[in-house]
Structures are given as structure tokens and as C-alpha cells.
Chains A and B, each alone.
Chain A
Amino acid sequence: MPLDPAVLEREFPEFEFIPERGKIREFALALGLEDPVHFDVEAARAAGFDDLLAPPTFTRQFWHENEENDPMVHLGYDPKRRLHGEQEFEYHKPLVAGMALRGRNVIASTREKEGRRGGKMTFVVIETRFTDENGELVQVARRTLIETAAPPKEAEKE
């Protein structure tokens, strides 16, 4: 299915993102991290951070919050053909527990490409910018979502 053009016109409202200590510890634990800057507030402060430091991919956690706000669910992609092809994070300031961040999603770019087995592949890059209480940029995330020409199973049969 081609990309629903209405999604490109859509405005995605700003949302709140407050990284909590418990959520940072839970995330770090799931990864098997050991660096105390993610677990122990005193250690984080001794290392020069105001509070527990979020691991580098932590803002992934906001994707499920406030789904109406996530461009992914409005692309009209067939979930069976949807791939998360690439991911990028750009860091401007340390992201620590207790910050009151604001996030905003935009569709940064779209393109189509001929698939290797025929049919069109659609690429969409969703960019999320997080700013702090002073409006300063903290982090930018870019997610490349691909809709493949055919579901992987059928493609393999060809």
C-alpha cells in the first residue's frame, strides 16, 4: 500500500517526556548494564551528572506512550511488511532523571525505491526532537521505517 499522503500534512502535537529514576534503572537492568551512573544517584552526581543518566537509546521508551502522537501508526503501513531499518540518535545534552522534556515528532523525509524482487519499497524517516525546560535541544532521534514490497515469507517463496 502506498503511503497515505494525509500523514505528510499532519501536525503531531508536542508531548511531555519525563524520564524517571525507576524507569532508567529498569531499562539499564534489562540491558545488563553495570555502570552505576545509571543506578546510583550519588555515583551519577560524582560523575558530574545532576541525576541518574539515561542509557543512550532510552528515549525509545516514549514511542509507546501517547500512540496517537506517533507518526508510525498513521503511515498506513501493513504491519506485516513494516521493518525498522535504521535508527539514529544525536546527543546535545546529557539526559538525566527528572528533566521535564518536551518532544515533537515530524516526518523528516520519505522516498520510494524499487524492491529487489519487484514492487515498491517505501522509506519514512520520523524525527523526534527533545528540548528541556529552557527550550534547549537535548536529543534528536531519527527512525527509518520501511514498508517492503512483499511480506518476508512470501518474498522468500518467489
Chain B
Amino acid sequence: MTYKAGGPLPEIVKAPVTKVQFVMYAGASGDFNPIHTDDEAARERGLSGVIAHGMLSMAFLGQLAESAFEAGSVRKLEVNFRGMISPGDVITLRGHVAEILDVDGRPLARCEIEAVNGKGDVVTKGTVEAWMG
């Protein structure tokens, strides 16, 4: 796929995240930290209830990268974790092309990307680099 520097990536609005999804992700990823699956354990840590795994939000940004470009064309994905996701949150994945680099004649798009919750807070932010051809 071809983009111009400054242009947006097609936005993805995820279905509201659920506690069941956190359990599925715990099993799929192997991260059984109970703050993601057990409300009582989450409250003991000072949270109001379970929160999503940070890596789930990164995986969502991986989906943004794979749908904006072709599956398998991502060269690099990096994020930092800033906020928490709670059950019921609707996560929007968005980004734009920061620049297009020429790597040995091959166009590589470097994009700024973020996952935003329903309140408009950026929960996870980073960059993706993907081959455009």
C-alpha cells in the first residue's frame, strides 16, 4: 500500500473490550497476572477492578500496522505504555505517516501510532515502520 508523508492510516475502532477477552488474552499470551482477570486481586493493588494487559493494547496496534500495510510487511513496532484500559472501553487505533524513507531503493513508511480510550486518553503510543513495496 502507498501513503504520503503526513497522511493518516485507516483508523480502526475495536469492539468494547471485555473481561472475557482479558481471560482469552491471558491464556493466549501466558500472562496470568491476576490484576487482569481477578477483580479482588486488582482491588488489592489499588485498582477499581481488572485492567487490560498493556501488551493487549500493543497487539491492537500491531493489528493497525498489519491492516494499514500488508501482513508481514512490518519492520519494526515500538510502543510505550501510558494508561490503563478497563472493561467496556472502546479503543480507537489511529496514526499517520511521519516520513517515508528510502532504504536501498525500497520505500519504508515510519508512522506515529496510538491507542486511545473512549475518554480520548492515549493509553499506548509508539511508532511503526513498514515496507510499502
Among A30, A37, A90, the residue within 8 A (CB) of B28 is A30
Q: Are B79 and A27 in contact (CB under 8 A)?
A: no
Question: Hey, what's the 0/1 contact readout for A34-52 against B, CB within 8 Å counting as 1?
Answer: 0101100000000111000
Task: Report how many residues on chain B are interfacial, defined by Cβ distance under 8 Å.
Answer: 34
Evaluate whether A31 and B25 lie within 8 angstroms (CB atoms) in the complex, with A53-B72, A91-B76 already known: yes
**Chain A nearest Cβ from B23, distance in angstroms:** 9
Stretch in B3-11, B58-66, B100-108 with 4+ CB within 8 Å of A: B58-66
Distance A48 CA – B73 CA, assembled complex (angstroms): 12
CB contact under 8 A between A84 and B71, given known A56-B62, A90-B76:
no
- CA of A31 to CA of B57, assembled, Å: 9
The interface residues of chain A, by DSSP majority, are classed as mixed
Expressed in whole angstroms, the Cα–Cα distance for A142 and B78 within the complex equals 9
Q: Which of A8-16, A58-66, A103-111 contacts B (4 or more CB under 8 A)?
A: A58-66
For chain A, residues 48 to 94, give those with C-beta under 8 angstroms from any C-beta of chain B: 48-49, 53, 55-57, 60-65, 80, 83-91, 94
Q: How far is the CB of B68 from chain A (nearest CB, A)?
A: 12
Cβ 8 A contact of B29, one of A60, A94, A153: A60
* Contact A61–B78 (Cβ < 8 Å): no
Q: Write the B72-107 contact mask toward A (1 if CB under 8 angstroms, else 0).
A: 101111111100000000000000000000000000
* Alpha-carbon separation in the docked complex, A89 to B62 (Å): 10
Q: What is the count of residue pairs linking A and B with beta-carbon distances less than 8 angstroms?
A: 104
Q: Which residues of A contact B75 (CB under 8 A)?
A: 90-91
A18 interface hit (Cβ, 8 Å)? no
Residues A86 and B63 in contact in the complex (CB < 8 Å), given A32-B14, A32-B15, A60-B55: no
Report A136 CB to chain B, min CB distance, Å: 16
* B40 within 8 A of partner (CB): no
Which A residue's beta carbon lies closest to that of B76? Answer: A90
What are 26 residue pairs bridging A and B, where the CB atoms are less than 8 Å apart in the complex?
A30-B27, A30-B28, A37-B72, A47-B72, A55-B59, A55-B63, A55-B66, A56-B65, A57-B55, A57-B62, A60-B29, A60-B55, A60-B59, A64-B29, A84-B55, A84-B81, A86-B79, A87-B55, A87-B78, A87-B79, A87-B81, A88-B76, A89-B77, A89-B78, A90-B75, A91-B77
Chain A positions within 8 Å of B, measured between CB atoms, are: 23, 26-27, 29-33, 35, 37-38, 47-49, 53, 55-57, 60-65, 80, 83-91, 94, 142, 152-153
